[in-house]
């Protein structure tokens, strides 16, 4: 049991990233299906509106879970949080464009299998999103500093 705890502790961030990524996919699919259903009463049959609603809500869900549990962002100033939100959505939009371009090139132009290329594209996008989140969006100010070792100001600086 201790080995399992050590393994989890060592790979916690990656495990949580994959777990919440799976939940984000569920949110995306559920919101898309619900949007299609609700919009059907209005006569709107396009797939783009439900897909856009699902993308926005699933990226918002991903931001919240990544911020709180995966990368454990401690930023509280509104300006810092707004920067995180904007960069998170911006990088997700960028990786979405990469996904679309990859699918166009491999399926429409090179005529590879849609299923296999979408699978490969998703692997690439997940890796890119993790890198973007780790290195740019939720980058720690001082990677060696943890909540337990952070310096506190009480008139003097203590380590």
Per-residue pLDDT 10s for the chain (159 aa) are 899 999 999 999 999 999 999 999 999 999 999 999 999 999 988 899 999 999 999 999 999 999 999 999 999 999 999 999 999 999 999 999 999 999 999 999 999 999 999 999 999 999 999 999 999 999 987 655 454 444 444 444 444
Give the 3-state secondary structure of residue 157: strand
Q: How far is CA 55 from the centre of its chain?
A: 11
Task: Provide the β-strand partners of residue 152.
Answer: 158
Instruction: Please tell me the distance from the alpha carbon of residue 48 to that of residue 3, in angstroms, as a whole number.
Output: 47
Q: Which of 36, 82, 31 is nearest to 58 (CA)?
A: 31
pLDDT at res. 140:
87
Inter-CA distances, 18 with 26, 32, 69, Å: 13, 21, 12
pTM: 0.82
Instruction: Please tell me the distance from the alpha carbon of residue 142 to that of residue 33, in angstroms, as a whole number.
Output: 42
Instruction: Please tell me the distance from the alpha carbon of residue 1 to that of residue 119, in angstroms, as a whole number.
Output: 34
The DSSP output letter for 153 is: E
Contact 117, 103 (CB under 8 A): yes
Q: How far is CA 135 from the centre of its chain?
A: 13
CA atoms within 13 A of residue 133's CA, in its CB half-sphere: 27
């Amino acid at each position: 049991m201790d080995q399992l705890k050590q393994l989890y502790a060592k790979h916690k961030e990656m495990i949580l990233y994959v777990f919440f990524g799976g939940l984000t996919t569920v949110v995306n699919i559920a919101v898309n299906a619900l949007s299609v259903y609700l919009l059907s009463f209005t006569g709107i049959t396009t797939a783009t509106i439900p897909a856009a609603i699902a993308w926005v809500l699933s990226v918002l869900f991903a931001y919240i879970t990544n911020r709180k549990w995966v990368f454990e962002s401690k930023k509280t100033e509104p300006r810092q949080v707004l920067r995180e939100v904007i960069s998170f959505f911006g990088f997700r939009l960028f990786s979405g464009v990469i996904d679309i371009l990859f699918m166009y090139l491999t399926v429409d132009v090179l005529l590879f299998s849609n299923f296999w290329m979408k699978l490969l594209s998703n692997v690439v996008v997940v890796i890119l999103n993790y890198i973007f989140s780790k290195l740019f969006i939720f980058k720690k100010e001082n990677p060696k500093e943890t909540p337990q070792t952070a310096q506190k100001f009480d008139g003097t600086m203590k380590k």
